[in-house]
Each structure stands twice: as C-alpha cells, then as structure tokens.
Amino acid sequence: MSDLSVIFVCMGNICRSPMAASVLRAELERAGLAHVTVSSAGTGGWHVGDPADRRAQAALARRGYDTEHAAQQFQPEWFNDYRLVIAMDRDNQRDLRRLAPTRAHADAVRLMLEFDPEAEALDVPDPYYGAADEFDSVLDLLEPACRGLASHLGEL
C-alpha cells in the first residue's frame, strides 16, 4: 500500500463507496497522483464479493468511469492501513467511529462531502432503494467532492 491511501465506506459497499472510489481514481489519474491507493468497503457484510449495484455500474459507465469492483467489509485493523477513512454519511461515520481502535482513529473519520466547499449537506444519500436516476444524482455529488479530495491529496 502506498504512503497515501484512501478508503471510502458506506453501508453495503455496492453503491456510494465504489462509485466514489472509481471517480477518485479518475481524478487522481488526471492530477498525476495515480500512486495514491484507493479502496472502498461497507460497514456491513451483506454483499461481500459482489460487484457494484447494476445501477451504480450503469451510472459510472455513462460518465466513462471504471466499473470493476468486489464488495468487502471494513475491518477495524484497516484504520492503520489508510491515511484517510471517508464515510459517505453521518450514520456510516458513527459506525466507523464505534469500530475505531483509538479515539484518534475515531476522530479522524471524515465525511465525503467535506471535500466539496460548495456542498449544501454533508451526507451522500443512499440511492439503493431509489430509482436509477438517483445514482446519477450521487455522481453529481461525488464528482466535485472527489476533485476537492484529489486537490487535498496533492497537498499532502
């Protein structure tokens, strides 16, 4: 794993977090920061080994992003493996903070939309139970946040 590593975390690791990982990889490539390690995981293990939701894959493909993904469940020891642990919403952040081995790890869990200075909210809504167009709306939130995150990583 590189010195700079990021993991995105949502509930099941088949919608928001793999979408964020795909978008960030593209942003890092454009910024010349392809050495940054990017991964994603879920707080739950329901979908371990599954690809991203077909609607997430379709939304990513429409915008030219990679759709390769296999879901995994976040493990507490991973706090030591990643420079940044980024939750998709405050519920995921709370769950991650409960898993954290130390107070410093818990305090370091960031929210995805913190990296978009123009975001109107901090939670990326979960599109899983919604319509297909909600996955496009999630990408609309993730793209500027990933640009901001790539810029942040370039400064580290």
Give the residue numbers marked as catalytic.
Answer: 10, 16, 126
Residue 46 contacts residue 14 (beta carbons within 8 Å): no
Three-state SS letters, 13-57:
CCCHHHHHHHHHHHHHHHCCCCCCEEEEEECCCCCCCCCCCHHHH
Residue 96 contacts residue 110 (beta carbons within 8 Å): no
